[in-house]
């Protein structure tokens, strides 16, 4: 049955921009959170929105919010649904606010020798980068989900791209944001919040996951395309040595664009990938036959883990340098010098080139594992260098009992580094898998919080980590709640997320 407020939406936007049919509502029920796939396998009913709206202008968004305020209906801002924390799941029903009609890109502007561009929030990352490249520029933001994530989603989740060691995370590239508040008020570029005039809107809204306002556009700093890019693969006998090398490189003032250190199990998979590169007739073309053995191996994950790690403790490091050709060569030379003091073996450019050629494909293999009797998820955390080894060891110890654990250290900075764990388990039955999945996340979050590491470097909080956020924020959580109350007293924007209650 159509909600009673559907007519009001149709008159605010036009009938063609409002969908209430069952198929549209089902399409928006879940994002890419692995737990959602497990729920689907267990045939748990998803939460459905009652309507899907596709506004094409700021006044359309204001019209939707006016209906929502009047009728007390939740509104969930929606980019492309590539989130992996349940951030768009409409747990209280309501209206999905799909922003994909917001696709305009402004001209490149120069200010004080720096370059900027204004992009609307519904542009897909890949389209933005393609259009910037055509003008000789790059945003420098390359998340693995670039093909299926929007600018608004980047901002809302504090996204990080594969070149974050050089360009930073999305918040580092953002010069200004335009946001529509729950009240319908528009905060323009350079504007201030009436309720919180001392706070910079960028600091308030970036990372707020649709709970405080709707991004309509942002101004980003962009960079001329680098004339040269060099890649290098290095092999270390132990993860510890490789981590020391990465820390030294980052703290020496060098700025590699790509830093990815794979632990022994992850290195094995990566090496397997680039060694078989030239073998023709890739098996993936045959529908993923190559994955049949995973459930077998994963019957005893800790045994498999021990055997693999006993066979090789090698850790593979991919470095990438870009910019002026001479500068890139010099940075590479100095980085290799640091690595040599830790007995690294230089593997030449091939492993790095292979990584570059496949840099978006790995994540998209996950559904194949689901189809082959396994489940898989990724847990991204970060901490300072002095705490990094403890975090790596602690997470492995907590998780390896139940699942195979792979890790890579990417997003390295002078202060610390992120660790990206991939966990793979064998399906044993839908309800049991859901229970194990919950335990894995619980244990992982406890380790992060216990060690003072962050529970999210770039995937956001959403539903998945909502109950853990108050512990991470500590004394800042009441401030976050006050900001929510001040900006959205109706509690219509994405309720039930980020530990802000229902
Ligand atoms: C295969 C794969 C690989 C991934 N790799 C990366 C990676 O390398 N780096 C990374 O950072 N993330 C990665 N992610 C996670 C995901 O792509 C990011 O979180 C992305 O930023 C989400 O963008 P989206 O447009 O799909 O947002 P959605 O999933 O639609 O929404 C995510 C959150 O943002 C809010 N939101 C969306 N648009 C707006 C808006 N205009 N205004 C206000 N709030 C809004 C939503 O309400 C929700 O809370 C990956 C995901 C997948 C599936």
CA distance 245 to 235: 11
Q: Which residue has the tokens 């997003």?
A: 411
Tell me the percentage of the chain whose pLDDT exceeds 90: 86
Sign, CA torsion 403/407/413/415 = positive
Instruction: Indicate whether 297 pLDDT > 80.
Output: no
Give pTM, 2 decimals.
Answer: 0.95
Give the DSSP H or E segment for 110. strand 109-111
The answer to whether residues 355 and 231 touch, using CB atoms and an 8 Å cutoff, is yes
Give the mean model confidence (pLDDT) for residues 204-229.
98
The answer to whether residues 241 and 389 touch, using CB atoms and an 8 Å cutoff, is no
**Rounded (5°) CA angle 97-56-32:** 35
Among 362-366, 367-371, 484-488, 495-499, the minimum mean pLDDT is found in: 362-366
Instruction: Indicate whether 47 pLDDT > 80.
Output: yes
Give the mean model confidence (pLDDT) for residues 202-227.
98
Give the mean model confidence (pLDDT) for residues 233-261.
97
Q: What is the 3-state secondary structure (H, E, C) of 244-283?
A: HHHHHHHHCCCCCCEEEEECHHHHHHHHHHHHCCCCCCCH
Question: What's 46's DSSP letter?
Answer: P
CA distance 357 to 88: 31
Instruction: Indicate whether 424 pLDDT > 50.
Output: yes
Tell me the percentage of the chain whose pLDDT exceeds 70: 95
Q: How far is CA 286 from CA 223, 280, 304, 366, 368, in A?
A: 40, 12, 26, 16, 12
pLDDT at residue number 300: 84
Q: How far is CA 448 from CA 381, 389, 414, 454, in A?
A: 7, 12, 20, 6
pLDDT at residue number 372: 83
Of 31, 56, 149, 368, the one to substitute when testing ligand 1's pocket (max ligand atoms within 8 A of C-beta) is 149
- Buried b or exposed e, range 397-412, using 16+ CB within 10 angstroms: ebbeebbbbbbbbbbb
pLDDT at residue number 268: 83
pLDDT at residue number 286: 39
* Closest CA to ligand 1's atom 48: 87
- Residue 377 CA to ligand 1 centre (angstroms): 16
Give the mean model confidence (pLDDT) for residues 412-423.
97
Give the mean model confidence (pLDDT) for residues 370-397.
95
- Residue 335 CA to ligand 1 centre (angstroms): 33
Instruction: Indicate whether 290 pLDDT > 80.
Output: no
Instruction: Indicate whether 294 pLDDT > 80.
Output: no
pLDDT at residue number 92: 97
* Nearest ligand 1 atom to alpha carbon 462: 49
CA distance 246 to 240: 10
**Helix boundaries (H) for 72-200:** 125-134, 151-157, 164-167, 170-173
Look at 71 and 300; give whichever has higher pLDDT.
71
pLDDT at residue number 388: 98
Look at 278 and 491; give whichever has higher pLDDT.
491
Look at 105 and 270; give whichever has higher pLDDT.
105
Look at 26 and 308; give whichever has higher pLDDT.
26
Strands 374-384, 416-426: pairing is antiparallel
Across the strands, what pairs with 236?
315
CA distance 144 to 139: 15
Q: How far is CA 420 from CA 345, 406, 468, in A?
A: 24, 8, 18
Give the mean model confidence (pLDDT) for residues 70-74.
97
* Nearest ligand 1 atom to alpha carbon 31: 29
CA distance 165 to 106: 27
Q: What phi and psi, each to the nearest 5 degrees, are found at residue 395?
A: -65, -45
Sign, CA torsion 400/406/412/418 = negative
Instruction: Indicate whether 283 pLDDT > 90.
Output: no
CA atoms within 13 A on the CB side of 268: 13
Reported as a pLDDT band with limits 50, 70 and 90, residue 292 is low
Instruction: Indicate whether 278 pLDDT > 60.
Output: no
- Residue 383 CA to ligand 1 centre (angstroms): 22
Is 319 buried (19+), middle (13-18) or exposed (0-12) by CB count in 10 A?
A: buried
Instruction: Indicate whether 475 pLDDT > 70.
Output: yes
- The pLDDT tens digits for 239-250 are 999 999 999 999
Give the mean model confidence (pLDDT) for residues 53-67.
98
The answer to whether residues 329 and 230 touch, using CB atoms and an 8 Å cutoff, is yes
CA distance 473 to 11: 42
pLDDT at residue number 285: 43
Name every residue whose Cβ is closer than 8 Å to that of residue 502 and which is 6 or more positions away in sequence. Answer: 92, 495, 496
Among 274-278, 354-358, 389-393, 458-462, the minimum mean pLDDT is found in: 274-278
CA atoms within 13 A on the CB side of 462: 28
Reported as a pLDDT band with limits 50, 70 and 90, residue 284 is very low
Sign, CA torsion 486/491/497/500 = positive
Give the mean model confidence (pLDDT) for residues 271-293.
55
Look at 347 and 371; give whichever has higher pLDDT.
347
CA distance 3 to 39: 26
Reported as a pLDDT band with limits 50, 70 and 90, residue 318 is very high
Angle of the 6-13 helix axis to the 58-71 helix axis, nearest 10? 160
Among 98-107, 273-282, 485-494, the minimum mean pLDDT is found in: 273-282
Instruction: Indicate whether 90 pLDDT > 70.
Output: yes
- The pLDDT tens digits for 167-190 are 999 999 999 999 999 999 999 999
Residue 459: alpha-carbon gap to chain centroid: 4
Instruction: Indicate whether 279 pLDDT > 70.
Output: no
Instruction: Indicate whether 235 pLDDT > 70.
Output: yes
Q: Within 6 Å (CB) of ligand 1, which residues are found?
A: 31-32, 76-84, 87-88, 99, 121, 143-145, 149-150, 152-154, 156-157, 159-160, 209-210, 214-215, 363-364, 458-460, 494
Question: What's 495's DSSP letter?
Answer: T
* Closest CA to ligand 1's atom 41: 152
- Residue 159 CA to ligand 1 centre (angstroms): 7
């Amino acid at each position: 049955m159509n909600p009673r407020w559907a007519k009001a939406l149709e008159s605010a936007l036009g009938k063609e921009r409002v969908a209430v049919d069952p198929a549209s509502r089902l399409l928006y029920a879940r994002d890419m959170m692995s737990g959602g796939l497990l729920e689907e396998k267990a045939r748990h009913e998803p939460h459905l929105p009652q309507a899907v709206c596709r506004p094409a202008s700021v006044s359309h968004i204001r019209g939707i919010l006016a209906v929502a305020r009047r009728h007390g209906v939740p509104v969930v801002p929606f980019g492309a649904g590539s989130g992996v924390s349940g951030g768009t799941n409409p747990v209280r029903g309501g209206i999905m606010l799909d922003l994909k009609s917001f696709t305009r890109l402004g001209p490149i502007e120069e200010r004080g020798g720096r370059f900027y561009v204004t992009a609307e929030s519904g542009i897909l990352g890949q389209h933005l980068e393609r259009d910037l490249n055509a003008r000789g520029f790059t945003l420098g933001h390359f998340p693995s989900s670039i093909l299926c994530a929007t600018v608004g989603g980047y901002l809302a989740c504090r996204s990080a791209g594969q070149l974050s060691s050089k360009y930073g995370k999305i918040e580092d590239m953002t010069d200004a944001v335009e946001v529509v508040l729950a009240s319908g008020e528009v905060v323009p570029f350079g504007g201030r919040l009436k309720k919180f005039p001392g706070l910079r809107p960028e600091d308030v809204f970036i990372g707020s996951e649709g709970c405080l306002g709707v991004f309509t556009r942002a101004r980003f700093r962009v960079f001329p395309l680098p004339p040269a890019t060099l890649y290098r693969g290095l092999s270390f006998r132990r993860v510890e040595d490789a981590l020391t090398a990465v820390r030294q490189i980052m703290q020496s003032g060098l700025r590699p664009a790509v830093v990815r250190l794979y632990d022994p199990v992850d290195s094995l998979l990566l090496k397997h990938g680039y060694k078989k590169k030239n073998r023709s007739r890739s098996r993936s073309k045959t529908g993923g036959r190559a994955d049949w053995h995973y459930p077998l191996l994963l019957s005893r994950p800790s045994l498999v883990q021990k055997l693999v790690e006993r066979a090789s403790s090698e850790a593979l490091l991919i470095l990438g340098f870009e910019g002026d050709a001479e500068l890139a060569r010099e940075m590479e030379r100095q980085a290799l010098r640091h690595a040599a003091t830790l007995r690294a073996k230089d593997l030449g450019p091939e492993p790095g080139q292979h990584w570059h050629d496949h840099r978006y494909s790995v994540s998209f293999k996950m559904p194949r594992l689901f189809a082959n009797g396994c489940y898989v998820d990724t847990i991204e955390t970060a901490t300072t260098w002095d705490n990094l080894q403890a975090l790596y060891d602690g997470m492995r110890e907590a998780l390896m009992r139940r699942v195979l654990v792979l890790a890579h250290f990417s997003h390295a900075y002078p202060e610390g580094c992120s660790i990206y764990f991939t966990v793979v388990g064998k399906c044993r039955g839908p309800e049991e898998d859901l229970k194990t999945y919950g335990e894995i996340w619980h244990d992982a979050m406890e380790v992060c919080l216990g060690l003072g590491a962050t529970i999210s470097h770039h995937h956001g909080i959403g539903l998945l980590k909502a109950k853990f956020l108050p512990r991470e924020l500590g004394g800042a959580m009441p401030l976050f709640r006050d900001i929510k109350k001040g900006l959205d007293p109706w509690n219509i924007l994405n309720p039930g997320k980020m530990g802000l209650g229902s």
